[in-house]
Structure 1
Amino acid sequence: MKGKVSFFNLQRGFGKVLDENLKEHFVHNSEVEGNFKVLYEGEEVEFEPKETEKGLNAIKVKRLKKRVRGKIKEYQMTDGWGWIEANSKDYWFHHSQVVGQYGFKKIREGFTVELTPSDDGTRLSAENVVCIDTRNPLDKFAYLGNWDEAINGLTNLAQPEEWDYLDEKTGAHPVLDSYVHQTFIQLVKENKIEYAKFNGIDSYAAFNTGLVTVKQEEIFAYFEINRPPSPTYSYLNLESQKWQFLKFDRESDRIMTHFKERPKLANYFSTPTDLLYDVNRRLIPDFEHIVDDREDRFPDIFKSLSDDQIMERLRSAIESALKRVRRNYKTAIPQFYNGGIQLLLPLCLEKPERADLALVVARENEIYRANTILPLDWAYNNARLLAKPDREWLNP
């Protein structure tokens, strides 16, 4: 019998299939034949119906399209496309091919995915992409336990700083949380995570958070070996975390005595001049791309304006921003994104004394190019990786 998947819960491993007569059949991952058990909404399958006391079940489920597993190798968020590496091959994908609900699709480099391979003769492509492991690198590295409580404790341990946007539901500080995760990613790239043995056995790990106490003592994140490893969804065969988070603490903590090397700071740039805006270079804004972002990122009042009116406001705001940079070089705030340094300029669209958005500027050969805009909280997150930003205008 043929049918179509109407629902599938990735975490719990079950869902529903509608047959050709629109009758609903319960399906469990254990009944899906082959190595890839994650079904996706809208997928066509073949199965055998089975009546049970609780209703109809779908058994011996056969998938009609080949599936492979890989990892997102690259993703250009501003353009909505990227590459997935699977079986030593690179597959191009567009965000529209990523299965997600209500228009929200969480896509990041390093995610483990399953996909349907396609070849149109010009390049390999990925269709019906399902993100089966959306843990970020730190979550894969260690079981974090009560992480929100730990982040709150870090705000008290570290030198006072306005970590904005306290989440009322969790009591956590999203900016600080993002900062720690992104710092870890950079440290992994630089091979700066330090490990220690006790009695010849791997026992501790640590990294430098880049934060300090009021007495300028550096703060480290400490981990201990995770025994037994925390459980994962067995049918997905996801790797378990070798470590578990222990605490944030100073270098003077006794755990540090086990480490031969002191964990080093992350390094985001090699040329200090990259952090400064060169006023002698031309700036070329990609207005078409920037305006395409207006629905989600521009102030509500802009939704009623025509493209021409928005373009006029933008040109005026960009020219004003450049004048501010010429008067004060600190106006251009560096941010770290996608492995490189970019500069943020204030866009004052409604009132000249208040920035509404940040214009993202990147050096390209002999010019600067501006391809997108960011809400101020996003911009602050990216800028904080390098240093505490000046709040003259980047004040979410």
Structure 2
Amino acid sequence: MDRPAFIPAEEKKRIYLILADEFGFGNDTPMATVAFSLMNAGVEKESYGYAKLKAFLADLGEFLSFTDIVAGGVPQRLVTIVKREEWEAERLKRNRAAADKDGERSSAVDITASASPEENSTIRQTQGAPARTLAPSKELERFAWLGPWDDLLESLADIALPEVWEFESASADPRRKSILRSYLSTTFYRLKLEDKVCIDEDAGFAAFNTGLVNGRYDDIYACFTPGTGQSAWRFAGFCTSGARGLGKRLVNLFNPLPEPASYFKCKDDLLFDLEKNLIIDFDHIVIDNIHRLPHSLLEDELRSNDEALRLLADAKPIGSDSERKASYAKLRELLEEEDRLFKRLRLRVSEAVEMARRRVRWNFRTAIPSYYPRMNAMSLLLPLCLVDELHADAALVVQLMASGNYQGQTILTMEQAYMNARLICRPDSDWLTTLPLREEN
């Protein structure tokens, strides 16, 4: 770094106010969750001269305490916010002012002092609290100069265990390796939240564990040397530990070696519990995400409305993006007004959800774990067979809430679902693959 690590007193207070509002006091919170909150608020450790999150948080020890545990065989640091009375008056005064400004939010503001992180997340969404728009896929490019993406991805694919890294559709270009690019970028983002990007500034070397392995199942690491210009680091290559060149340097500088990203906290992240209630956000799925529903399904269910059919015709893929977006926007308005049409689509989605639950009962592996980086949240994916019972057309994103209920948050296209699931591991599934969807009639 260009300057010594230092956090001014006013900045410490600002960070305290952010974390106290977010997590309350006395709640043990994973460090990755705290890092996600700080990034959302625009607080970057690098701005204060810190390369490692642990060091940054340690210097906030006036109001943070730490507990190191092992969860599922993976070391994890928990962070707890400690109340600072001299700053509490300002925080409470500010929150009361916000509550007075918007009376509808007054009760939720008071709740945050004792609510769990999951409950606070729901409260913030209800309040409509502003947050910085994160681009997890860009964090790696912010960290280092990578050179041409095609060359980087090709070099990684050459040494990694063979895998399909592009969707097998007629329009897909296998050289792009869009799945691998998404995987590598988001893996780095998760590692940054977990403070697992290893940096030795004195030696001029940085590295992270890609989570991929070669044919001998040796971990593959991405390595970096000091950059020039706007980038602090420059991509140097991939290696395995101890291999000539970068691999020997890696072993010489880091002990332990860079660890892979971890996602699981408990078995609930892996298994869908059929005994729990599943509540579906039909408005968001049917109306907001109508563009992710199969075109043939929409034509079938909306055939009684001439305006809807006209809008669907304009929304077909052969048109321009702007025309399709405009048509879907009008179709959303129509569904808001025509309750009968909305109910027909909701019924079809409900039937598909029930079929998915039956599939989980038959084979628990039907529910696939996935990671959603923009919310830093684990979820499960369930197949939605909306046109026929043999083929999934979309994936339902199911998240376990603090109440113990499942929330059906949204639906994803099959490609979106595969990319989110691939972050955890390569899906071994009879419904989520890189193969193209069947042709719609």
State the TM bucket, normalised to the shorter chain. 0.5 to 0.7
- Preserved CA contact (<8 Å) 1:202 1:225: no
Which residue does the alignment assign to 2:351? 316
Structure 2 counterpart of 1:315, one-letter code: S
Residue 257 of structure 1 deviates from its aligned partner by 3.6
Q: Distance in 2 between matches of 1:285 and 1:135?
A: 28
Q: Distance in 1 between matches of 2:135 and 2:353?
A: 40
The one-character-per-residue Cα deviations of 1:140-192 (angstroms, maximum 9, x if unpaired) are 11011122211122112111112223786692211111111111111111111
Structure 2 counterpart of 1:356, one-letter code: D
Residue 131 of structure 1 deviates from its aligned partner by 8.7
Residue 363 of structure 1 deviates from its aligned partner by 0.9
Q: Distance in 1 between matches of 2:413 and 2:251?
A: 43
Which residue does the alignment assign to 2:220? 219
Matches within 5 A, 1:101-112: none
Shifted more, 272-281 versus 328-337: the winner is: 272-281
Determine whether 1:264 maps to 2:259: yes
Residue 308 of structure 1 deviates from its aligned partner by 2.5
Structure 1 stretches lacking a partner, 5+ long: 1-73, 75-82, 88-118, 230-239
- Preserved CA contact (<8 Å) 2:136 2:189: no
Aligned to 1:355, the other structure's residue is in SS state: coil
The one-character-per-residue Cα deviations of 1:291-342 (angstroms, maximum 9, x if unpaired) are 1134321111233323232122111111110000011100000111122211
Aligned to 2:204, the other structure's residue is in SS state: strand
Q: Distance in 2 between matches of 1:356 and 1:290?
A: 14
Task: Summarize the Cα distance change of 1:316–1:132 in structure 2 as closer, same or farther, 3 Å threshold.
Answer: closer
Structure number having the greater helix percentage: 2
Q: Distance in 1 between matches of 2:217 and 2:42?
A: 46
- Preserved CA contact (<8 Å) 1:207 1:263: yes
- Preserved CA contact (<8 Å) 2:391 2:431: yes
Which residue does the alignment assign to 2:387? 350
Q: Distance in 2 between matches of 1:214 and 1:259?
A: 25
Task: Summarize the Cα distance change of 1:292–1:155 in structure 2 as closer, same or farther, 3 Å threshold.
Answer: same
Residue 85 of structure 1 deviates from its aligned partner by 4.5
Residue 125 of structure 1 deviates from its aligned partner by 9.6
Structure number having the greater strand percentage: 1
Task: Summarize the Cα distance change of 1:203–1:130 in structure 2 as closer, same or farther, 3 Å threshold.
Answer: closer
Residue 274 of structure 1 deviates from its aligned partner by 2.2
Residue 344 of structure 1 deviates from its aligned partner by 0.5
Determine whether 1:165 maps to 2:159: no
Q: Distance in 2 between matches of 1:348 and 1:222?
A: 43
Residue 121 of structure 1 deviates from its aligned partner by 4.5
Structure 2 counterpart of 1:193, one-letter code: V
Select 2:371's aligned residue among 336, 349, 371.
Answer: 336
Which residue does the alignment assign to 2:270? 275
Which residue does the alignment assign to 2:400? 363
Matches within 5 A, 1:288-307: 288-304=283-299, 305=302, 306-307=341-342
Determine whether 1:179 maps to 2:217: no
Determine whether 1:193 maps to 2:197: yes
Task: Summarize the Cα distance change of 1:131–1:332 in structure 2 as closer, same or farther, 3 Å threshold.
Answer: closer
- Preserved CA contact (<8 Å) 2:380 2:398: yes
- Preserved CA contact (<8 Å) 1:148 1:170: no
Select 1:381's aligned residue among 409, 413, 419.
Answer: 419
Structure 1 counterpart of 2:408, one-letter code: A
Residue 133 of structure 1 deviates from its aligned partner by 9.7
Residue 84 of structure 1 deviates from its aligned partner by 7.2
- Preserved CA contact (<8 Å) 2:356 2:384: yes
- Preserved CA contact (<8 Å) 1:194 1:259: no
- Would you say how many aligned residue pairs link Structure 1 and Structure 2? 270
Q: Distance in 2 between matches of 1:259 and 1:145?
A: 25
Aligned to 2:250, the other structure's residue is in SS state: helix
Structure 1 counterpart of 2:207, one-letter code: A
- Preserved CA contact (<8 Å) 1:275 1:341: no
Structure 2 stretches lacking a partner, 5+ long: 1-21, 23-38, 44-97, 106-126, 303-340, 435-441
Structure 1 counterpart of 2:349, one-letter code: L
Residue 371 of structure 1 deviates from its aligned partner by 2.2
Structure 1 counterpart of 2:250, one-letter code: M
Task: Summarize the Cα distance change of 1:85–1:212 in structure 2 as closer, same or farther, 3 Å threshold.
Answer: closer
Q: Distance in 1 between matches of 2:428 and 2:369?
A: 11
Determine whether 1:395 maps to 2:417: no
Aligned to 1:136, the other structure's residue is in SS state: helix
- Preserved CA contact (<8 Å) 1:294 1:302: no
- Preserved CA contact (<8 Å) 2:145 2:231: yes
Q: Distance in 2 between matches of 1:184 and 1:135?
A: 9
- Preserved CA contact (<8 Å) 2:398 2:408: yes
Residue 126 of structure 1 deviates from its aligned partner by 11
Shifted more, 360-369 versus 133-142: the winner is: 133-142
Task: Summarize the Cα distance change of 1:315–1:210 in structure 2 as closer, same or farther, 3 Å threshold.
Answer: same
Aligned to 1:178, the other structure's residue is in SS state: helix
Higher relative contact order (CA 8 A, sep 6+): 2
> Normalized against structure 1, the TM-score is what?
0.62
> Considering only aligned residues, what root-mean-square deviation do their CA atoms show, in Å?
3.2
Q: Distance in 2 between matches of 1:336 and 1:125?
A: 23
> Normalized against structure 2, the TM-score is what?
0.56
Task: Summarize the Cα distance change of 1:276–1:135 in structure 2 as closer, same or farther, 3 Å threshold.
Answer: closer
Residue 210 of structure 1 deviates from its aligned partner by 0.6
Task: Summarize the Cα distance change of 1:169–1:379 in structure 2 as closer, same or farther, 3 Å threshold.
Answer: closer
Structure 2 counterpart of 1:153, one-letter code: S
Task: Summarize the Cα distance change of 1:221–1:368 in structure 2 as closer, same or farther, 3 Å threshold.
Answer: same
Aligned to 1:214, the other structure's residue is in SS state: coil
Q: Distance in 1 between matches of 2:136 and 2:186?
A: 15
The one-character-per-residue Cα deviations of 1:11-51 (angstroms, maximum 9, x if unpaired) are xxxxxxxxxxxxxxxxxxxxxxxxxxxxxxxxxxxxxxxxx
Which residue does the alignment assign to 1:155? 157
Q: Distance in 1 between matches of 2:190 and 2:291?
A: 29
- Preserved CA contact (<8 Å) 1:283 1:368: yes
